Structure 1
């Protein structure tokens, strides 16, 4: 798959075109010269397979039609030790060190870029000083991987500026390491993989143990993915995320296994006396969610929308009850979607992302989208006092250069 051309861009790329034009204009206004390279990388939404990417499971994400775009050009002063980067969303500038940083020296969003640059420097690829402007239409803080999109867009830009193209897998892993070491988030591989490998009209079934993936055609004319941001973020996710990982690891040790892929639901039930109640529920979620994800991929391949919908609802219940990462607002959105049901065009719904707020993902028939969005919005607002944000997407193209470096 060629990540360096825009020939494969999905036809519904108006939002990307508008974002590119805005970032390009901002670069010229800021730096009084045209950008010589423009890179883009998408956010992602996971359709099923939550909190199992760090447990050797399978996940089924897709890249979304919301991107981080970076316009850049080499700096006039080739001896400068930093890159000057301006964020249009935050309206602030930061200086990115270009050496082999061992840990973040920046406390703001610049640490994501610093981590990526350090990853290149570690491989002996010296990044030249550059000026850049970043713009994004990936919703921030909604569990749609805005940070991974920023990392992957930066890596795609740096590839062009240095004329060193990484293998796509290598690029995804470099960006994952940036998130681990520089942002302090021990994420699995799904977010960066989705942003690097995304293909229009395809989902990705990623095996998080082998780090291989299969494309799953989204043969669904007349069906879109509706992403609804609860616009609520309970500030628990950092510590809670690490706690869930620890609980899963403890349960796996007590099961005398080194990978969840060797554990069946029967194994979990047989070991219930040696597991704490929390460990039992965490283990049950991991094992059943891995199975649901494999089943969902087959159901998507067969266009079996009833099966897909049932698996999505079952996934949400497991995340709510066994993994305890949902919240009242997410439950409310899924409940409303379920009550609207197939007769209203809703095929399935679940929370997506780390939880404790953020987004739900639903499959909705295109003709029903306006009414579903209206119903979800009004009923959720009545129940919570919060206005949600909704947008629909088809599976989108992954990281690519909109304008290769001259």
Structure 2
């Protein structure tokens, strides 16, 4: 790979998680896919030792001294850029000066991993500038560390792995302990619909971290490395050992891991009704046991679930706002999307943004 001397562009997708929420940091299973919306990062090398990154959404550019200290104190979106640069500098890479402009068709705070798209996209930019690459898994883990250290969000590996490993036409069954990935083909007869609740979430506000602490405390109390190690058949015998809210948090994780594997099997068998029921069960568990849904997401899932051609609907992402994802009949996708938008509009008092998406490839260089 030759270091870039001319302008180039990187595309970095968002992601939806079809099922498997808050299981990644419990060493569990998830089934995300990269989507055909995301970030486009236009880059050109520049003289000097500065990175200047701006966004089409306004605000001041992030200006980063490539030789100076990269502290985790900044609060703007530039902290994600700084965190990724810090990761490559830690490996001894010398990052050349550059300018970048980011354009996006992905809602920030919408639960579609805009932060992971920025991190993995910026990692791809740095690798292109330097003319060398990390193995994809190492790159994703570097980006996860950037989010931990510079954004203060103790996320699992799902988002960065989905953005880095995305494969067109496939969801990714990811074992978050072994980091093994099995692509799961999505048949042409189904489509994915994303419904934006309009409620912006902020995972750095502490609620996400509190859920992770509950899960880790429950695992310790049960003598397990992680809640992934509690089998569904074992749960009735151990649930009484846990106080609230640890019991409800653990109940969600144990059941959700089983749902992910059952959902992948249903998709591979073309059993869309079964897949849809599992999505509905997942949402109910996230609402009642994990307590990360919100009124708007609950209304969306209830309204969308009544529309003919919708197999199932659930919140996606960390929760506390963001988007819902629905599995629908692709042969009637446009009509179903319009019906879902109208029904959700009646429930919410205003029509939400709704769009269909396909499974896309991961972050990549598109022009050199």
Q: Which residue of 2 aligns with 1:243?
A: 210
Normalising by structure 1, we get a TM-score of 0.86
Decide whether the 8 Å contact of 1:229 with 1:390 is kept in 2. yes
Tell me the CA shift for residue 235 of structure 1: 5.9
**Cα distance change, pair 312–297 in 1 and its aligned pair in 2 (3 A):** same
Decide whether the 8 Å contact of 2:193 with 2:355 is kept in 1. yes
Decide whether the 8 Å contact of 1:100 with 1:117 is kept in 2. no
CA offsets 1:164-216 (integer angstroms, 9 cap, x no match): 21110111011111111111111110111011100100110011111121111
Decide whether the 8 Å contact of 1:223 with 1:365 is kept in 2. yes
Q: 1:55 and 2:19 equivalent?
A: no
Decide whether the 8 Å contact of 2:218 with 2:227 is kept in 1. no
Q: Which residue of 2 aligns with 1:7?
A: none
Q: Which residue of 2 aligns with 1:9?
A: none
Q: Which residue of 1 aligns with 2:285?
A: 318
Tell me the CA shift for residue 89 of structure 1: 2.2
Tell me the CA shift for residue 236 of structure 1: 7.6
Decide whether the 8 Å contact of 2:44 with 2:99 is kept in 1. yes
- Among 86, 92, 103, the residue aligned to 1:135: 103
- Among 129, 147, 152, the residue aligned to 1:161: 129
3-state SS of paired residue (1:178): helix
Q: Where do 1:14-93 residues align within 5 Å? A: 36-75=7-46, 77=47, 80-90=48-58, 92-93=60-61
3-state SS of paired residue (2:96): coil
Q: How many positions carry a matched residue from both structures?
A: 366
Distance 1:156 1:240 in 2: 30
Distance 1:299 1:102 in 2: 46
Q: 1:394 and 2:358 equivalent?
A: yes
Distance 2:68 2:267 in 1: 44
**Cα distance change, pair 156–100 in 1 and its aligned pair in 2 (3 A):** farther
Tell me the CA shift for residue 256 of structure 1: 1.2
Q: Which residue of 2 aligns with 1:363?
A: 327
Tell me the CA shift for residue 367 of structure 1: 3.3
Decide whether the 8 Å contact of 1:112 with 1:183 is kept in 2. yes
- Among 181, 190, 205, the residue aligned to 1:213: 181
RMSD: 1.9
Tell me the CA shift for residue 375 of structure 1: 2.6
**Cα distance change, pair 105–327 in 1 and its aligned pair in 2 (3 A):** closer
**Cα distance change, pair 102–237 in 1 and its aligned pair in 2 (3 A):** closer
Distance 1:46 1:289 in 2: 13
Q: Which residue of 2 aligns with 1:95?
A: 63
- Among 116, 121, 144, the residue aligned to 2:112: 144
Distance 1:212 1:383 in 2: 40
Tell me the CA shift for residue 137 of structure 1: 1.2
Q: 1:121 and 2:89 equivalent?
A: yes
Decide whether the 8 Å contact of 2:110 with 2:201 is kept in 1. no
Decide whether the 8 Å contact of 1:326 with 1:357 is kept in 2. yes
Distance 1:230 1:284 in 2: 26
**Cα distance change, pair 310–87 in 1 and its aligned pair in 2 (3 A):** same
3-state SS of paired residue (2:264): helix
3-state SS of paired residue (1:231): coil
- Among 195, 218, 224, the residue aligned to 1:257: 224
Ranges in structure 2 where 5+ consecutive residues have no aligned partner: none
3-state SS of paired residue (2:239): coil
3-state SS of paired residue (2:198): strand
Distance 1:235 1:39 in 2: 26
Q: Which residue of 2 aligns with 1:23?
A: none
